[in-house]
Amino acid sequence: MKKTIALLPGDGIGKEVVDVTVDILKAIAEHFHHQFQFNYGLIGGDAIDQKGTPLPEETIAICKDSDAIILGAVGGPKWDQNPMELRPERGLLALRKELDLFANLRPIKTFESLLDSSPLKKEYVDGVDFVIVRELTGGLYFGKPSERIVHEGEDAVVDTLLYKRYEIERILVSAFEIASKRRKHVTSVDKANVLESSRVWREVAEEVAARYPDVTLEHMLVDNAAMQLIRSPKQFDVIVTENMFGDILSDEASMITGSLGLLSSASLSSSGLHLFEPVHGSAPDIAGKNIANPIATILSAAMMLRQSFGLEEEAKAIEKAVDNVLNAGNRTADLAEDGKAVSTKQIGEEIKNALGDDHAILNIMEAYS
């Protein structure tokens, strides 16, 4: 199979984790006889420095000419004082909007070998397996006006939480579709006791639920949801929620698994061109030290192989290799005991090698079948 993959490493640890992921994808291409062409694009702070904009036109073109996109992370203190339009994060937000990547899937599944790495007790996190379906192109992130104003003669500020009804409907449909292939339970998270947008969200959720009689719908207020994620995370199957609620809840949920450096994500559009990115950011506090955990990005690449290219066996090979390497005790600094950490590159090598082992086993099985 021949595929073109746009690579947008971005800033900080984005570059480090994408580098390692590309090595693994190259190994997959070799083992399974595929051709992956990688096209690099600038985004975020780097793009501001080199092109004067966080999302250059050529980056959009590279993405549109590709079959899938992998992004590292954007942002960093160097650009924190920039005006809003010249912040690295604007590049990512503009790309999500431009490509209509409205459905952000963030799976939260604990690893058997990392049950003791969660700050939560083992019996609460063992067996956790849910997906946050975060609306990604609307809500508080994109509503206008969003500006400083003078209101009733006072200096003031306004952000707008705006949704068109169809935007709420399509993300709920995505969540119900996913749930219908899983344990058939949707928790729709909102703030309907305060926000009108949440009341419409609930109405639409009920309408969509009526089309999926096998799937149960539960409404949960976001403050309660934040608590329930810690109290009993196993109750969740699919959580669907507004853009900003989803952003916050997914970082919180990462600690069920033990580290933000483990959480992968897929940002899907109805056009079929999807973007895959770790949930974490550019982590300026650890950038450039070769200590970041690349697993979130590696697993995002596995999601890409499955979701965009239909390469189930290849996706599983990566997931299995990650499991094997964790089972063997390899840990980056975010998960390791003092003095026992392996580097970003080392764990990437281990995963690459484990891939080879698994494929060697597959070859042997093929030879004898």
Ligand X SMILES: CC(C)[C@H](C(=O)O)[C@@H](O)C(=O)O
In the list ligand NAD, Mg ion, ligand X, none, the entry touching 93 (Cβ below 5 to 8 angstroms by class) is: ligand X
DSSP string, 243-265: HHHHHHHHHHHHHHHT-GGG---
Interaction between residue 311 and ligand X (CB under 6 A): no
The SS3 of residue 186 is: strand
Kindly state the tokens that stand for 344. 């970003």
Angle between helix axes 344-368 and 312-327 (nearest 10 degrees) is 120
In the list Mg ion, ligand X, ligand NAD, none, the entry touching 282 (Cβ below 5 to 8 angstroms by class) is: ligand NAD
Nearest to 14, CA basis, from 257, 297, 265: 297
Give exposure, 147-179, as e/b (b: 16+ Cβ within 10 Å): eeeeeeeeeeeeeebbbeeebbbbbbbbbbbbb
Residues 197 to 256: which contact ligand X by CB under 6 A?
Answer: 247
Nearer to ligand X, 187 or 282 (CB): 282
Residues 267 to 296: which contact ligand NAD by CB under 6 A?
Answer: 277, 280-286, 292-293, 296
Q: In the bound complex, what is the minimum distance in angstroms from residue 16's beta carbon to ligand NAD?
A: 9
Nearer to Mg ion, 241 or 324 (CB): 241
- Give how many residues touch Mg ion by CB under 5 A: 1
The answer to whether 145 is annotated as binding is no
Interaction between residue 18 and ligand NAD (CB under 6 A): no
Residues 40 to 79: which contact ligand NAD by CB under 6 A?
Answer: 73-76
247 is catalytic: yes
- Considering 116, 126, 159, 223, which one is annotated as catalytic? 223
**In the set 11, 16, 46, 89, which binds ligand X (CB under 6 A)?**
89
Kindly state the tokens that stand for 250. 């997914």
223 is catalytic: yes
Q: In the bound complex, what is the minimum distance in angstroms from residue 131's beta carbon to ligand X?
A: 15
Q: Alpha-carbon distance 267 to 95, whole Å?
A: 11
Nearer to ligand X, 10 or 330 (CB): 10
Stretch that binds ligand X, among 89-97, 118-126, 315-323, 354-362 (CB under 6 A): 89-97
For the chain, list the strands marked E by DSSP: 2-10, 35-40, 68-73, 103-109, 129-135, 139-151, 154-162, 185-190, 216-221, 238-241, 266-268, 275-276
Nearer to ligand X, 274 or 331 (CB): 274
- Considering 15, 46, 141, 163, which one is annotated as catalytic? 141
**Separation of CA 201 from chain center:** 23
The answer to whether residues 41 and 62 touch, using CB atoms and an 8 Å cutoff, is: yes
Taking the CB of residue 316, how many other CB atoms lie within 10 A of it? 14
Strand partners, 143: 160
Residues constituting the chain = 369
Which positions lie near Mg ion, rule CB under 5 A?
Answer: 247
Binding site, annotated residues for NAD(+):
76-89, 281-293
Give the active site residues: 141, 191, 223, 247, 251
Which positions lie near ligand X, rule CB under 6 A?
Answer: 75, 89, 92-93, 247, 279, 281
Binding site, annotated residues:
76-89, 96, 106, 134, 223, 247, 251, 281-293
